[in-house]
Every structure is written in structure tokens, then in C-alpha cells.
Structure 1
Amino acid sequence: MISKKNNKKLRRYQKTKSVNYKSLPLNNELKSIVQAKHTMIQSGPLPDPQTLEQYNSIVPDAAERIIKMAEEQAKNRQSIDIIKIKTIRFSQIFGVIAAFIISMTAMIGGFILILTGHSVSGWISILSGVSPLIAVFIGDYNKNKH
């Protein structure tokens, strides 16, 4: 168990970026705990060269297989990204076409209602067909403005 005094010292030194643990004014109990801590952080699809070398010493050609696996995974990820981009593009185009068809149907229906003597219903239909388009254009204008 670490004493309260040593615990305060340890917290104070943990806040600093780099510490020479041998120069800390701690007793041997705490120094052995601090010296035992070792952290290695590795990021990326491939391990570092030393680890690849260790894999090769255990299993022949392991490093080559690991590199090949990382290359195949990268190709797979790129093909998935391409499919996502094409799907998003299709959805956007389809959405614009569908919105145009719905708006035009509402406006044509409104004109037909006006011509048949239902002017209030006709104007409501025309405005309900035009208002989403106006809202989209205003929204795009505001996005581009900022």
C-alpha cells in the first residue's frame, strides 16, 4: 500500500510531461512501482519492424503474410468506400428527381383545381408544391453564404 505522502508526490509528478524517475524524492517502495510501468503505443495496420521480425522467428514468412493481409484489407476498405460514394450519389440524384416529380404533380394538380373552379384548394396545392423547393434553395443559399 502506498502511503498518503508518497501518493501525493506521485500524483504531482504524473502531471509533468517527462520525469526522470531516479531523481524523484520517493522511497524505494514507490520507485519500484513507478519503474515497473512501461507503455508502448502502436497505431496503424502493420506492427513495427521489430514485432514483425519476432513473428518471423516464431512462424516462417509470418511478416510477409501479415503485410499481404494488410494490403488486402486496404483494397477491401477502398472498394467499400467507392460503393458508399456511389450509393450516396445515387440517393442524392434520386431524391432530387423524386422531389421534382412530387412538386410538379402538386403544382399541376393545383392548376387543374383552379381551372375547375376550386381556386382556394388550387392555390394551396400550388404553394404546397413550391414551398419545399423554396425552402431547399434558401437553405442552400444560407449554407453557401456562411
Structure 2
Amino acid sequence: MAKQEIEKKISQSENNNRSDELIELEQELTTINPRIFQGVTPKKKEEILKSISVTMIQERSHSGPLPDADTLIRYNSVIPEGADRIMKMAERQQEHRMSLETKVVNSQSKQSGLGQWFGLIIGLVGIGCGTFLAYSGETTVGGIIAGGTVVSLVSVFVIGKSLQKSQN
């Protein structure tokens, strides 16, 4: 689609929106005071509404991945199937985000399992070495190594659990 055609559609959309705004403004004003335009010619009424609509401030806020319905309708009037393209883009983004979250959860689960296995291996080796040294006659050194291994592993688990609780 040529740039001029797109600009023309945007201009038409803006003109339609402007006339809709004038109608809406007129309705709001007549709701407040039903006799406000009594005795005013239609041309003068349009001039008044245009001058008011220029000074009127409209604020819209939006939260979320998708624009509101009015904006989607405007996209459709400017870009063929624009709203559908935006919806598909949001769906793909959500699928991507969910895929990443699944990968992160699986990775953390594997990492946690590996940590437990390595902790078990370190614990068994430490206690085994301490027991061997104690059996060989080095009871003090064997006790320090075996006891230190147990104290270290217990402290790692306790600190890890307290960190998990504080993060949640």
C-alpha cells in the first residue's frame, strides 16, 4: 500500500473520529444543559463545538499487551487485518514467554537436584575420610574432618532454606 493511501486513510479516520467527538461533545453539553444551543444556527453550533473540542483534553490509559478495542478498530481501518496481526503478535509473545518460564523452571529443578547429589557425595566422602583417619589412629583429625563436613552441609541446607523463605 502506498504511503499516500495510508496517509489518506489516517486522515479519513481522524475526520470520522473528529465528527464523532463533536457529536459526543454536543450530547454531553446538552445533557448538562438541554437549552444550551437554543436559538443557535447549526453552522454556529458546529463552530462552537469545534472550538471547544480543540481545547478539550482527553486522556486514555491502557495497561496490558493489547490495545483497547477502539484502537484495534482504527488499526483495521488503516492496515488491512491490522487487529488480527496485533492479536497474533501478542499470542506469539505469550507463547514465547511461557516457553522461557518452562525452561527456567526445568533448569532450576535440575540444578537443585544436582546440588543435592553433589552434597550427598561430598558428605559421604568427608565422613568416609574422617572415619578412615579415626580408624587409622588419627582420631582428632578424623573427628574434625567428619564433624566439619556434617556441620558444613547442615549449615548450607539451613541457610539455603532461610533464603528461600525470605525470597518468597
Which TM bucket (shorter chain)? 0.5 to 0.7
TM superposition shift of 1:108: 0.2
Q: Give the match for residue 81 of structure 1.
A: 101
Structure (1 or 2) with the larger CA radius of gyration = 2
Q: State the 1:39 CA deviation.
A: 3.1
Q: State the identity as a percent.
A: 31
CA distance in 1, matches of 2:108, 2:158: 23
- TM value normalised by structure 1: 0.67
In the superposition, relative to structure 1, how do residues 44 and 142 fare at CA in structure 2: closer, same or farther (>3 Å)? closer
How far residue 44 of structure 1 moved from its aligned partner, in angstroms, is 0.8
Structure 1: runs of 5+ lacking an equivalent: 1-34
TM-score, normalised relative to structure 2? 0.59
Is 2:83 aligned against 1:63?
Answer: yes
SS in 2 for 1:41: coil
Matched residue, 2:52:
none
Pairwise CA distance, 1:136: 4.9
Determine whether 1:98 maps to 2:87.
no
Label 1:50 to 1:121 Cα distance change in 2 as closer, same or farther (>3 A). Answer: same
SS of the residue corresponding to residue 60 of structure 1 reads coil
Alignment of 1:72 onto 2:92:
yes
- State the distance in 1 between where 2:94 and 2:58 align: 31
Larger RCO, structure (CA 8 Å, separation 6 or more): 2
For 2:162 and 2:87, locate their aligned partners in 1 and report how far apart those are by CA, in whole Å.
Answer: 48
**Structure 1 residue 41 displacement after superposition:** 1.5
**For residue 52 of structure 1, what is the amino acid of its counterpart?**
L
Q: Which residue of 1 aligns with 2:19?
A: none
> What is the Cα deviation at residue 135 of structure 1?
2.7
Kindly provide the CA deviation profile for residues 35-76 of structure 1, in whole angstroms up to 9, marking residues without a partner as x: 765432211111000001111111110100000010111111
